[in-house]
Structure 1
């Protein structure tokens, strides 16, 4: 696993999405982390120091795993860039066309009015 800065991470994430357009998947996970071991965190708690938590983001396509860490100051800029990348690469998700209920009912009536109904014998 490679820990990258946020901008190279976004560039590599874009290339992962492009590699997996025809076949494959990309998994992105986000989690809160202090990037310190449990022993170091417990030591900070006993000393009364505040623990600075960051957002750890990991992405994998099954072959390659990348990760980055984003602080509270940079999360808005990172989130905006991440959202742009997701919108650009989610082409498979298309909106379905919705039929109005009134139009659908009128169409059904018109189709049914011209045809004769069979009689029960």
Structure 2
């Protein structure tokens, strides 16, 4: 697993999505982390210091795993970029056209009436 800066992470995530368009999937996991071991966190707690938590983001396509850490200052910029990438690469989830329920119900009634008269 490679810990990248924000921009290289987003670039690599984009290339992962592009590689998996025909076949495969990309898994993205977000979790809260202080990036410190449990022993270090316990020391900070006993000393009375506050622990700065960050968001650890991991992405994998099964072959390659990348990760980054986002702080509170950068989360809005990251969120906007991440949303843009997701919108651009989720083409399979396009919205279907909705059929008007009244028109379809009326058409069914007409078919029943025509069948009964024939």
Deviation of 1:53 after TM superposition, in Å, equals: 0.1
Q: Which residue of 2 aligns with 1:38?
A: 38
SS in 1 for 2:110: coil
- Which is worse superposed, 93-102 or 19-28? 93-102
Taking structure 1 as reference, are residues 49 and 95 closer, same or farther at Cα in structure 2, changes over 3 Å only?
Answer: same
CA radius of gyration, larger in? 1
The TM-score, its normalising length taken from structure 1, stands at 0.85
Q: Distance in 2 between matches of 1:80 and 1:116?
A: 46
Deviation of 1:116 after TM superposition, in Å, equals: 14
Identify unmatched segments of 5+ residues in structure 2. 114-118
Q: List structure 1 runs of 4+ shifted beyond 6 angstroms.
A: 113-121
The TM-score, its normalising length taken from structure 2, stands at 0.87
SS in 2 for 1:115: helix
CA-based RMSD: 3.6
Q: Distance in 2 between matches of 1:116 and 1:46?
A: 73
After superposition, the C-alpha distances for 1:72-112 in whole angstroms (9 at most, x for unaligned) are 00000000000000000000011121111111xxxxxxxxx
Identify unmatched segments of 5+ residues in structure 1. 104-112
- Which is worse superposed, 89-98 or 37-46? 89-98
> Which structure has more helix as a fraction of its residues?
2
